[in-house]
Amino acid sequence: MANHKNCPNPFQIFPFMTKKANLYYITTASVLCAIFYLLGNWQHSGGGVASAISSSGFSRFPCTIANAIPSSSPRNAASSAFASSANVVLDFEAHHRAEDLIPTEAATAQDLHFPPCDPKFSEYTPCEDVQRSLRFDRERLVYRERHCPEKRERLKCRIPAPHGYRLPFPWPESRDKAWFANVPHKELTVEKKKQNWVRFEGDRFIFPGGGTMFSNGADAYIDDIGKMIDLRGGSIRTAIDTGCGVASWGAYLLSRDILTVSFAPRDTHEAQVQFALERGVPALIGVLASKRLPYPSRAFDMAHCSRCLIPWGQYDGAYLIEVDRVLRPGGYWILSGPPINWEKHWKGWDRKEEDLKAEQDAIESIARSLCWKKLKQKGDIAIWQKPTNHVHCKKNRKVFKFPPFCPAQDPDKAWYTQMDTCLTALPEVSDIKDIAGGELAKWPQRLTAVPPRIASGSVGVTAETFKENTDLWRSRVSYYKSLDHQLAQKGRYRNLLDMNANLGGFAAALVDDPVWVMNVVPVEATTNTLGVIYERGLIGTYQSWCEAVSTYPRTYDFIHADSVFTLYSERCDMDDILLEMDRILRPEGGIIFRDDVDILEKIKRMTDAMQYESRIIDHEKGPHEREKILLAYKQYWTAPAPTEGTDTAS
């Protein structure tokens, strides 16, 4: 450090060094430029370099577009480029035509077209088509079961609403009336006139609440049942009505917080399920025939038949055995109508006394063989109860050798599954007082209590996951309502469908709204959660979305499709699913799709072609999520008036 004063100052010498370097570079650059200029002139004059190239052998490989030697090596590439620069005339003409290009999705979307169907299809039910059903066996009503069209038979058009269609009355007004234009069938008003099912008045139908076995009205009939079993304590929440008529029993149970799935076949009683749906009551087309009902085991707290014309004593008791499968431990079966109280009614039923007695004896015998206990028979109503476990039942197989217990099987498998004539065993218990499968909480606590199937670990979902899922869907439904004002408006929607319900969180979040939700668990789902949904006090069904639903057109006001198209991306065609959704959605109804953004873009192109109003919205967590939401609204359009020649759809 002491000698630092003797060191030269770099800032003093840099100016000199910089000037000297600049002069050197300028001189060198000038000399090189002059040399290359002279070489260029010499080459173009035909001397020296050009002659050397010509005599080197490169001329043996003419560099044309047709004969250029392809090579990935740098040396060959450089040689080819150098040679071609002197001999090739560049071609700037176009060598590709528009018709040679592979169509993009954006281009093909312009060709999407989903025209209106012929008005004759306004009540088309693809899997219960009357004409197709005639091909199948009438034994055990097999022809009334699901028989779906083959791929080549599927309609590629949009089902029209009948001319004059109007939005249904809001609930609860809809329970008692429906527009004639929506279900233009007067047959039941004539056929069931004395039984007070339905009346026609002006431009609408009136439903007085009557039925074949409850001439004083469904309310009074249900009160009679309530005197025999407790309907208001919360232990009975889910019910099934077999052969439901216009579903007045289910309609009037709603005021008692009991949710009923009503079903009936599409038969000579024209439009009975359609009437139920117009009333805002849960219903499906269905029949007890040769296949299991599309519900899990231990689903319903109560089953009901009021003169449903089901031959309970035939086919080795198969139909009562199926009811036993879907009844929860301790559940009730209620029967009214023939043969109950035959001693009083046999003349009015135009039946022989001995036949009716034999019919009731057969039912009583089958019920005993199922270990059911007959609780009461009062007037025209009889009630049996299923045992809470099978401890005693397994012991008495020494007496009742038929039906035997089923071998190991999945009791919840119920999609095109053949009906059994063996008894579905209840889960094992450690004590004779225990309830097989676990005790259910009473309604409404049942909705959020951990379902027994989850508590036992039988579905692979933890209690913590269940609670998180419940909270998640509360927040998601809140977000949906901020986007869809119709969903937020109480009374605007009534019949809702969740196409991929999982644990039923969507429906649970709407429980305080005046709606009901049909929760579908796709048969292709990795986990069968429909039993969990029923244990929560909700309702649902199995379904494959590669096929049509067993319901009439215009069943639902709103459809929720969470990851449905991801699930079916390699299973069936997107347009078939969307056309089915359009068939079962009412005019001016809404759909919320939740899926990957790329899938939603494809769906939007199709729904736009189907004349929906739609928009894609960010996930509730923000724009960086790939999962987005697509809101779609079906426009109002109908078939033309009979005298018109064109459809009112644009």
What pLDDT was estimated at residue 513? 98
What pLDDT was estimated at residue 39? 66
One-letter amino acid identity for 65? I
Helix, strand, coil percentages, rounded to 5, for the chain: 35, 15, 45
What pLDDT was estimated at residue 193? 66
What pLDDT was estimated at residue 189? 75
C-alpha to C-alpha distance for 249 and 244, rounded to whole angstroms: 8
What pLDDT was estimated at residue 25? 67
CA neighbor of 259 nearest in space, from 274, 275, 280, 278: 280
Alpha-carbon separation of residue 482 from 56, 200, 474, 487, 489 (angstroms): 80, 40, 13, 9, 11
C-alpha to C-alpha distance for 286 and 294, rounded to whole angstroms: 9
Residue 548 CB burial class (10 angstroms; 0-12, 13-18, ≥19): buried
Q: For the ranges 19-23, 195-199, 334-338, 425-429, which has the lowest average pLDDT?
A: 19-23
Specify which residues 615 forms β-bridges with. 631
| Contact (CB, 8 A) for 174 and 280 | yes
What pLDDT was estimated at residue 271? 80
Share of the chain above pLDDT 90, in %: 74
- The predicted-structure confidence for 79-118, as pLDDT tens digits, reads as follows 444 444 445 566 555 554 444 544 444 444 457 899 999 9
Assign 64 a pLDDT band (cuts: 50, 70, 90): very low
Assign 167 a pLDDT band (cuts: 50, 70, 90): very high
Q: What is the CATH number of domain 448-634?
A: 3.40.50.150
- The predicted-structure confidence for 591-631, as pLDDT tens digits, reads as follows 999 999 999 999 999 999 999 999 999 999 999 999 999 99
| Contact (CB, 8 A) for 364 and 374 | yes
C-alpha to C-alpha distance for 115 and 60, rounded to whole angstroms: 66
Residue 608 CB burial class (10 angstroms; 0-12, 13-18, ≥19): middle
- The predicted-structure confidence for 354-397, as pLDDT tens digits, reads as follows 999 999 999 999 999 999 999 999 999 999 999 999 999 999 88
What pLDDT was estimated at residue 92? 54
What pLDDT was estimated at residue 442? 98
What pLDDT was estimated at residue 87? 55
State yes or no: pLDDT of 174 exceeds 90. Answer: yes
What pLDDT was estimated at residue 86? 47
| Contact (CB, 8 A) for 293 and 286 | yes
What pLDDT was estimated at residue 42? 60
Q: How far from each other are the two terminal CA atoms of the chain, in whole angstroms? A: 94
| Contact (CB, 8 A) for 417 and 294 | no
Q: Round the average pLDDT of the chain to a whole number and report it.
A: 87
Does domain 166-399 bear CATH number 3.40.50.2300?
no
What pLDDT was estimated at residue 181? 96
What pLDDT was estimated at residue 32? 76
What pLDDT was estimated at residue 195? 72
Q: For the ranges 34-38, 154-158, 459-463, which has the lowest average pLDDT?
A: 34-38
- Mean pLDDT across 306-316: 94
In the chain, CATH 3.40.50.150 covers 166-399, 448-634
* HEC string for 326-344: HEEEEEEEEEECCCCCHHH
